[in-house]
Each structure stands twice: as structure tokens, then as C-alpha cells.
């Protein structure tokens, strides 16, 4: 007879249904898995065999064939263990085959029969809800699956699952779990940073308008500290956004403790990170850092130290909000709408402005160092700020009165203004950072004094069209922060101060 259980394969964060079919037939004893399994899936045979023997069940001495349909879709990962074991139990008539057909299952088995966490439970649960079937997933991830609103069985081990399905010992349905107040409160606060008022202001502007930010300053000036505090200034994830972010983290196997994510992501990959680690893909298709930072902050510290190819790959997702990864057999697309924060030293030794500490090659070395970043990447960064070394006098100051909560309130107000402004516009933009071209010129038209200043500055600084728009965009955010309808001269003046501070190319 043939027993069936549903499970899934992942393509990006999309779910593809997979049918696990098990047949026990006469013939030489054997156990084969067919249907393009990768190594982890092929090995699932051994785990299933061991897990069943831990229950005191021996495989029948007959020919067992496991087919993963559709056969032309590559199957990756260890989550096929549980559906294979279930279908096998159905074929062995330990469990009623009709009962298990109504479930979608995923989970890894350990040799002693425990069911271990796997990636992708949340998207699988949402898929189960669309198909109106129940879900069987590892106990640790029940809280994640419960969000989909389907019947969820989250057993700790195979024995508990068999007892539940037979009705001898019923498991409680898991409750939906989300990150609570303590996880949210653990975020670092702006209060910890002494002095650095202009850098903090730039951080607030970046948060308010969704602008990318570049900080240039010597080591130890607090660039990393500042970057880590940006997520705390941004509005909390809306429920739909939380689900979107959680889906990506779930597929990446990074959703901790089966809880839905509520915090904006903050990712800071090391500069030695490979292209696959940043962009996604690789042998096992996984979302990269840029997708894990979706709707949050991607922090690239020591920007010029990243491999050039890696940085160039980031340009396209910064524009489009998604990243396409080519694989041997398919293209997958992951969401990647991030706010980029980059930090760099002004030169390799980092002490360009301090004659006592600078190396002998200053200031030429600074030009060489910054040349490593292409103009087009710089162009996608609206805000450039210098973060000078902290003064000893600043460090002995009492902590500032204003912390992340106060700044976040101003940011939220500025974001509301932007959302209302762009609601009637085509395209789904919500922040000034996304506005460009004619739309930008329409919404950010400065008053006469502002226009005069901008025209003069554009000529004197030889601003490119891109640079000109960048000033307008930032000025719009400054006006929104100030609660001003129009863009005025002082907004233009401040926006001009955030333009690129390049030692070489203008
Ligand atoms: N403005 C500041 N206020 C308080 N502490 C600071 C400040 N700037 C730097 N520090 C201290 O210096 C350390 C290094 O800062 P960091 O953010 O790593 O610098 P950078 O990334 O610019 O090299 C921090 O962990 C913090 O203890
Ligand atoms: Mg640092």
C-alpha cells in the first residue's frame, strides 16, 4: 500500500508543495529514497530507521520506497525526516493512513526519536493554512506556527506524536509567541552616547526619512555605537511587516525560540563576508545578510575593506528592494529592503585629522582608501557625516537628557507626514528616501531663498544632478522633522552639510 504525507520545499521564501509517498512492497528488503534528494535528505533514511527502532519498531523486511514528488524538484534540508517517518508509519499501519494525509509535516529526527527544529516552519504553516490542512512541526517551533491559524501539533518526539494521533495522550495546541517587552527593551539607547551631537542629529534624520547613512571618523569615535542605535529610533514593525521579516528569518533558520520577530533587524556582517553570505544563495539556498536585514538596518563597518564585487552587488538591491540569486537550477528572489549604514575610517591608519598620530602618507592615503568605493555606491547614500574623535571633556559629561524614546517620537511624527504625502502617489513609497525625479522636485520645492542657496551651492560645489536631488531629498526630511510644510533656506543649508566629503572625486 502507499501512504502519503504533505510537506514543502523552499524556493526563496516561497513554498512549493511536496508529496511524500511511501510504498512497502514485496521483494528484496531495502529502503530507497527517490525524487532528487540532496545528501541531507538521503541520510534521512538512517535517522528515520534509528528513530523508529528507538520506539521499538523495526522496519519490515520488505522493499520500502520513499518518493518525494514532484520528482524533478531538488529537495534540500533535513526537514523531510518527519514526513518520511509519518508516511512510513502509515504504510506500516501503525497509524491510520487516512488520518495522516490531512497534515503537512516538517521536522528533523534525532536518533532517539526526538523532533528537532528546522528552518521554514512559519512559511510552511501559512501554506498549510492556504490549503486548509493541519501542521505537524517540532515542539520548539509551535509558537511560530500557531500564527498561521491552523491546527498545529507540536510534539517533542515521535512517541508523543503517535499517542496524540491515536488519541491516547492528547498534546496541547501551542499558543502564538512573539518577542515580548524584554526583548524590545534590550535594545541599546542613544543615552549611552556622550557628545557627538551632529552625528546623533544625522542619525535622527536618517531614521526620519529612511536615508542611507555613511559615517567617516577615526577608530573609537563611536560609529558602531551610533549604528546599533538606529533600529531603536525607527517605528516598530507593523504586524504585516513583522510577519514578512519573520518569514525570512524562519527560512534562514534564525527565528529564535519559535517566536515571531517584532524588532527591526540589525545586521552587521564582517567585511570578510563572502558574496553568498551577503547576497544569499550558495550551495544551500539561504537568504543573505541583506535579506535578513529586510525592513531593518544593514550596517557595513569598515566599508572599504569589503570585497569590491560584494559592494557592487549591493547596489541593485539598494535600489529595487529585492535581490535575485542565480542558482544552478533556478533563480530565487529574496526581499531586501534595507536601510544602509556604512562606517569607515578616513584613511587606512584612521588618524587623518590628527597630525600627531597620522601616518607619513597622509593626506594622499585618504584619497586612495576612499577610491575603493565606487561613485555609484556613494551616490546611493544620502547622508554623509564626519564623526570626530570623542573629546575627553565630553566623556566626563553626565548622560544626555534625551534618549532613543524622545527621538523615536519625533521620527514617528515625521514618518506619518511622509506616509500621508505619498499615499496618493503611484508606486508604494512611504519615505522621502524613496522619492526621486519629478515627484521629488514637486514635493520638495524650496522657497525662493532656499532655491537661491541651492543654485549657488550647486554651481560652486559642482553638484551632479544626483547630488542636487540628494540635497532636496534630505531637505524635505529636515522640513518634515521640523513640522514645516515647505522646504526653507535653513533646511537646504543643513542638507548641504550632509553632502559627500570626498577628498578626491567630487
Ligand atoms: N560618544 C561616546 N560616548 C561614550 N562612549 C563612547 C563614545 N564614543 C566611543 N565610546 C566608547 O568607545 C568604544 C568604541 O566605540 P565604537 O563605536 O566601537 O567606535 P568606532 O566604531 O568608531 O571605532 C565604545 O564601546 C564606547 O565604550
Ligand atoms: Mg567600529
pLDDT 10s digits, 353-377? 676 676 666 667 677 777 778 788 8
Q: What is the mean pLDDT of residues 369-394?
A: 85
pLDDT attached to residue 504: 42
**Contact between residue 168 and residue 188 where contact means Cβ atoms under 8 Å apart:** no
Q: Round to whole Å and give the CA distance between 58 and 48.
A: 11
For residue 224 and ligand 1, the question of a CB distance below 6 A is answered with yes
For ligand 1, what atom is nearest to the CA of residue 227? 17
Q: What is the mean pLDDT of residues 264-278?
A: 92
pLDDT digits (tens, 9 = 90+) for 244-260: 999 999 999 888 677 88
Cell of 249: 528569518
pLDDT attached to residue 506: 33
pLDDT attached to residue 502: 58
Q: Which CATH class is domain 2-166?
A: alpha beta
For residue 464, the 8-state DSSP code is -
Cell of 16: 512549493
Counting ligand 1 atoms within 8 A of each CB, the residue from 189, 217, 220 with the most, and so the one to mutate, is: 220
Cell of 283: 550551495
Q: Round to whole Å and give the CA distance between 205 and 202.
A: 5
Comma-separated ranges of CATH 3.30.230.10 domains in the chain? 2-166
**Contact between residue 296 and residue 230 where contact means Cβ atoms under 8 Å apart:** no
How far is the centre of ligand 1, averaged over its atoms, from the C-alpha of 219 (Å)?
8
How far is the centre of ligand 2, averaged over its atoms, from the C-alpha of 272 (Å)?
15
Beta strands in 249-321 (DSSP E): 266-267, 280-281, 286-287, 297-300
| pLDDT bracket for residue 86 (50, 70, 90) | very high
| Local structure of 280: helix, strand or coil | strand
pTM: 0.88
For ligand 1, what atom is nearest to the CA of residue 387? 22
For residue 200 and ligand 1, the question of a CB distance below 6 A is answered with no
- Does the domain formed by 183-399 have CATH 3.10.450.750? no
pLDDT digits (tens, 9 = 90+) for 190-219: 999 988 999 999 999 999 999 999 999 988
Comma-separated ranges of CATH 3.40.50.300 domains in the chain? 183-399
pLDDT attached to residue 359: 67
Is the pLDDT at 91 greater than 80, yes or no?
yes
Please, what is the average pLDDT of the chain?
89
For residue 198 and ligand 1, the question of a CB distance below 6 A is answered with no
Amino acid at each position: 500500500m502507499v501512504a502519503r504525507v504533505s510537506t514543502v520545499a523552499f524556493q526563496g521564501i516561497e513554498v512549493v508543495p511536496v508529496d511524500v509517498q511511501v510504498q512497502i512492497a514485496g521483494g528484496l528488503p531495502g529502503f530507497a529514497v527517490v525524487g532528487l534528494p540532496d545528501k541531507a535528505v538521503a541520510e534521512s533514511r538512517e535517522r528515520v530507521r534509528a528513530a523508529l527502532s528507538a520506539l521499538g519498531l523495526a522496519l519490515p523486511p520488505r522493499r520500502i520506497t520513499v518518493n518525494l514528488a514532484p520528482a524533478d524538484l531538488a529537495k534540500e534540508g533535513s526537514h523531510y525526516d518527519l514526513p518520511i517517518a509519518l508516511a512510513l508509519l502509515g504504510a506500516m499501519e501503525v497509524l491510520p493512513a487516512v488520518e495522516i494525509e490531512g497534515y503537512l509535516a516538517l521536522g528533523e529526527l534525532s536518533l532517539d526519536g526526538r523532533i528537532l527544529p528546522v528552518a521554514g516552519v512559519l512559511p510552511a504553516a501559512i501554506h498549510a493554512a492556504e490549503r486548509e490542512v493541519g501542521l505537524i512541526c517540532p515542539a520548539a517551533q509551535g509558537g511560530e506556527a500557531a500564527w498561521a491559524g491552523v491546527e498545529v501539533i507540536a510534539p517533542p518526539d515521535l512517541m508523543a506524536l503517535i499517542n496524540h494521533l491515536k488519541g491516547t495522550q492528547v498534546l496541547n495546541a501551542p499558543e502564538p509567541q512573539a518577542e515580548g517587552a524584554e526583548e524590545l527593551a534590550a535594545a541599546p539607547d542613544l543615552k549611552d552616547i556622550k557628545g557627538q551631537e551632529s552625528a546623533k542629529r544625522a542619525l535622527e534624520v536618517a531614521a526620519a526619512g529612511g536615508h542611507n547613512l555613511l559615517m567617516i571618523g577615526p577608530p573609537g569615535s563611536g560609529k558602531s555605537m551610533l549604528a546599533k542605535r538606529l533600529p531603536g529610533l525607527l517605528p516598530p514593525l507593523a504586524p504585516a511587516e513583522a510577519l514578512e521579516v519573520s518569514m525570512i528569518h524562519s527560512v534562514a533558520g534564525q527565528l529564535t525560540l519559535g517566536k515571531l520577530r517584532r524588532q527591526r533587524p540589525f545586521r552587521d556582517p564582517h567585511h570578510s563576508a563572502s558574496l553568498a553570505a551577503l547576497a544569499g544563495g550558495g550551495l544551500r539556498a539561504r537568504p543573505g545578510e541583506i535579506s535578513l536585514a529586510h525592513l531593518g538596518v544593514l550596517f557595513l563597518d569598515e566599508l572599504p575593506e569589503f570585497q569590491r564585487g560584494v559592494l557592487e552587488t549591493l547596489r541593485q538591491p539598494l535600489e529595487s528592494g529585492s535581490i535575485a540569486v542565480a542558482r544552478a537550477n533556478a533563480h530565487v528572489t529574496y526581499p531586501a529592503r534595507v536601510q544602509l549604514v556604512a562606517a569607515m575610517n578616513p584613511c587606512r591608519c584612521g588618524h587623518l585629522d590628527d597630525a600627531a598620530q597620522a601616518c607619513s602618507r597622509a593626506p594622499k592615503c585618504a584619497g586612495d582608501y576612499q577610491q575603493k568605493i565606487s561613485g555609484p555606491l556613494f551616490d546611493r547614500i544620502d547622508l554623509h557625516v564626519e564623526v570626530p574623535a570623542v573629546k575627553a571633556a565630553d566623556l566626563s559629561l553626565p548622560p544626555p537628557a534625551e534618549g532613543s524614546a524622545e527621538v523615536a517620537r519625533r521620527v514617528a511624527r515625521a514618518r506619518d507626514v511622509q506616509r500621508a504625502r505619498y499615499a496618493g502617489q503611484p508606486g508604494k513609497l512611504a519615505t522621502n528616501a524613496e522619492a526621486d525625479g519629478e515627484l521629488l522636485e514637486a514635493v520638495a520645492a524650496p522657497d525662493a531663498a532656499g532655491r537661491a542657496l541651492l543654485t549657488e551651492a550647486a554651481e560652486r560645489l559642482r553638484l551632479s544632478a544626483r547630488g542636487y536631488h540628494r540635497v532636496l531629498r534630505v531637505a524635505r526630511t529636515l522640513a518634515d522633522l521640523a513640522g514645516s510644510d515647505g522646504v526653507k533656506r535653513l533646511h537646504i543649508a543643513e542638507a548641504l552639510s550632509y553632502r559627500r566629503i570626498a577628498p578626491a572625486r567630487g
